[in-house]
Amino acid sequence: MNDSLKADDKFDFIFTDRGMVEIVTGSSSIANMLSLDFVSNNDWDLDSDLGINWINTRNNGLLQVKSSEILIVKEIQRKLESRDGVREVKQIQINRRLNRSLSIVVTVVVTDGTEFELRNEVL
């Protein structure tokens, strides 16, 4: 398991009173990285493996084509289970909203048995 920089719900780094960036370890580090991976689009040039292909310039992202919920669930599961430290994706729940957005909640179990819930509102 790798250490990672601690981030808040908006993925801004958290600093200590002394101005140092906080570091998280173990299962918290895995949850931190999975959360960032889950809400990110995979279009960042510095880390093309980060995120899920929600939208892209080729117009074939999950939200740009008529993707079924089954396809979306499979892609989320494939992406999260490919990360180090993930034992299983226990549950994926997708709720379609009236404004055509998706509310997605995923329950993930990491290698030490800790369960985490990841949330994303995809517009």
Which domains occur in the chain, in start order? Answer: 4-122 (3.10.450.40)
Q: Which tokens is 20 given?
A: 């140092």
Order of strands, edge to edge, in the sheet holding 115-122? 86-96, 102-110, 115-122
C-alpha closest to that of 89 among 101, 67, 68, 74? 74
Q: Which tokens is 3 given?
A: 């250490």
- Per-residue pLDDT of the chain in tens (123 residues, 90 and over written 9): 578 888 887 778 889 899 998 888 988 888 888 888 888 877 666 676 788 888 888 888 887 887 788 888 998 999 899 988 999 999 999 998 887 778 999 999 999 999 999 988 887
Residue 108, beta-bridge partner list: 89, 116
Q: How many residues are given for the chain?
A: 123
